[in-house]
Amino acid sequence: MPIQYSEELRLFRLATPNTAYFFHINEGGFLIHDYYGEILPMCDLRSASARIGKASFSPRSADLTTVPETAPQEYSCNGTGDYRISALQIRESRGNAATDIRYVSHKVYPGKPAIQGQPATYGTDEETTTLEVLTEDGVTGARITLYYTVFEQQDAISRRVKAENNSEKVMDLERIYSLCVEIPFGNWELGHLYGSWAKERTFERKEIPHGITAIESKRGSSSHHHNPFAAIVDKNTSEDTGAAYGFNLVYSSNFSIQVEKDYDGDLRLIMGINPTDFGWRLEPGEAFETPEGIMVFSKDGLGGMSRIFHKLYRNNLCRGPWKTKKRPLLINNWEGTYFNFDEEKIFNIAKDAGELGVEMLVLDDGWFGACNNDKAGLGDWFVNEEKLKGGLSNLSERIHGLGMKFGLWFEPEMINPDSDLFRAHPDWCLQVENRPMSIGRTQYVLDMSREDVRDYLFKCMDDILNTAQIEYVKWDFNRNLTEVASFLLPAERQKEMFHRYVLGVYDLLDRLMTAHPDLLLEGCSGGGGRFDPAMLYYSPQIWTSDDTDAMERLDIQYGTSICYPTSAISSHVSVCPNHQTKRTVPLRTRGDVALAGSFGYELDMTKMSEAEKEEVREQVKEYHKYYDVIHFGDLYRVIPPNGEECAWIYVSEDKSEALLTFVCIRNHPQIRRTVHFRGLDPNKNYADEQGTVLPGSAWMNIGVNYPKSMADGTTFKVYLSEIQ
């Protein structure tokens, strides 16, 4: 049973094939966390999880049943004796923020309820089982429901919280995190993903100090700088062995992950909406639902943790036909032309690319309004016919005549001050009355909390998609939010704006995908500035970084793969010298690195030599040959990028094929290296493309040798297929 409850022990057990999660209700009605980790049978863990109240001046609860500061609380509250980081704080009508929730009831049922207006994982009644635990603050009347959904076959648990005002007076949510987890004393380290524009999701692992460590964004997006992901790993955990907890928030706005290591070495982790600049007023009878948090545990190291996230997101987060349907191999014109194009230039790029096997042309920024640079036209979503004489419908028809598909770039949330839309509706921007508006990339931000703004944007996009044959949309977002206020909200609700903004984005995305269910949507935010699970719910692939240099992409794609599947990682071959780093990397290497993602090209193929075009033809063949094992296989990160080398392996789910890619970053003479396969069936026989046949156990234990003749920046691949 995925969820069990012992009436005698008042104990809950949530289980997957490899993990178990326990908590109980104590005599005072507090929810006390007992255990999360490797699978355990139903057993009484209450005494094993008990912690002696050792802290000085630690008050007991009024009913003397609990020492809140030392109890491993399932969902921590502020102001009633627990001085550690709090998951919940509600300010009641008299101005006090003391919060104390106690168990009322629970129910267990098959399936998983949706979150109104928000993206979330999903599952059938056969795949998922949900536990709802209702708690209440008896003084304020706040009713807090804790949701737990077990994805039994995926080894994952999702969590979220709903707050309801069951009183006759107003109350204000000041912090409401999606989950709280207690992890007992150990040699724990924190893993997280940090970065910046063109250097997203660098994986860092460090010892957790005493006190509070925070990973947060208050930029109005999940951001280039910090990803809504954290791992708690044992000091001795490697890629393949050891305990690894993973936490990821399905949210695209301000988030907070806080880890507190107390005086005794125990950890508490909370994850959810960042309470900075957040508040939500609940009138009597109103409710608020948090975004969803995902938590996983693996005893098979960071790699085991990653593969759980990958399978869950591929199968139970991404939606629509493109989560399983083979995606077209595309070329995007951005780095090939930037704003300097007309219809003939775009058509000629498509024509040359199509002759090499490319299946789609994506027209990027600059096709609309008076847009000839990044200073004008955003918001005016009508075709610039000085560039495209016959409009998008004519260009689309010509490209489809080549046997190719056609895609288009939008940046719906932004507006240039030099635009017809801004001149007509300056009040549609985010702004604080009497305060100058900050500008970024010559852009302001539209108030996505407004229904009239969303209606305008939907009509513009829907009209474009209905007047031309467009199979793909790239949705961009090129600055963070400032002066986050709306003319339509009263003063007491202005702190709701960051959350209302992202709910508006989700609403527009949902409307667009409902109207055009076969559309392939790619997320983007100056590259990977909004690469989070919530966006994967709408766009099964996300432009990973504006840095297209293959050597830089090794780090970026490695870090991204810590919790996001390869199928979500948009990765393109670009021209050399690279536009971001000025580095020159062989075309073969650029192709091999880009294959570790949703593959495409970002250059002008009309400028390629015949030798380069022939190499592209080979890359196209490899794209089709390796597509399934890369997009749907298990990823094993064999060698992380370390300045010398990097290697990774994909193994199909049925273990019938595998692909190893090795990159020599910097070669040395007289050094022999061997790369070992992972994840194969030791009892199956596998052949490489030279005809060598060995059992899986040999490929994994003996491996393949690094060729001595490799130059810096070159690669080799080894493909294995099962021999019956």
What is the set of active-site residues? Answer: 476, 546
CA atoms of 1 and 13, how far apart (whole Å): 9
> 699 near 683, Cβ under 8 Å?
no
Cβ–Cβ < 8 Å for 560, 528 = yes
Q: Quick one: tokens of 430?
A: 């985010």
Are 102 and 141 within 8 A, CB to CB? no
Both tokens assigned to 389: 């004489």
Q: What are phi and psi of 568, to 5 degrees?
A: -90, -10
Long-range own/partner contacts, residues 48-54 (CB < 8 A, 24 or more apart) = 49/22, 49/184, 51/264, 51/266, 54/263, 54/264
Q: Determine the Cα–Cα distance for residues 153 and 288; give it in Å rounded to an integer.
A: 30
Whole-number Cα distances in Å, 349 to 201, 330, 447, 601: 32, 12, 37, 11
Alpha-carbon distance of 586 to 710, in angstroms, equals 12
Residues with Cβ within 8 Å of 477's Cβ and at least 6 positions away in sequence, in order, are 221, 411, 413, 414, 524, 525, 526, 529, 530
Nearest-angstrom CA–CA distance, 400 and 348 = 13
In angstroms, the CA 323 to CA 310 distance is 12
Q: How far apart are CA 593 and CA 661, in angstroms?
A: 8
**Contacts of 556 by beta carbon, 8 Å cutoff, 6+ apart:** 195, 199, 200, 201, 202, 528, 544, 545, 547
- Which residue is associated with the tokens 């090129």? 478
In the numeric block, the tokens 């096997």 are attached to 357
In order, the DSSP letters of 611-670 are HHHHHHHHHHHHHHHHHHHHHHSEEEEEE---SSEEEEEEE-TTSSEEEEEEEESS--TT
**Beta pairing partners, 146:** 133, 161
Query: 25, 341, 354, 297: which is closest to 151 by C-alpha?
Result: 297
- Please give the Cα distance from 148 to 133 (Å, whole number): 8
371: left (phi over 0), alpha (psi -120 to 50) or beta: beta
Q: Are 21 and 36 in contact (CB under 8 A)?
A: yes
Give whole-number Cα distances, 704 to 676, 698, 707, 717, 719, in Å. Answer: 6, 10, 9, 10, 11
- Retrieve residue 212's tokens: 């509070």
Q: 187: number of CA atoms within 13 Å, CB side?
A: 5
Handedness of CA 304, 310, 311, 313 (dihedral sign): positive
DSSP, res 539: -
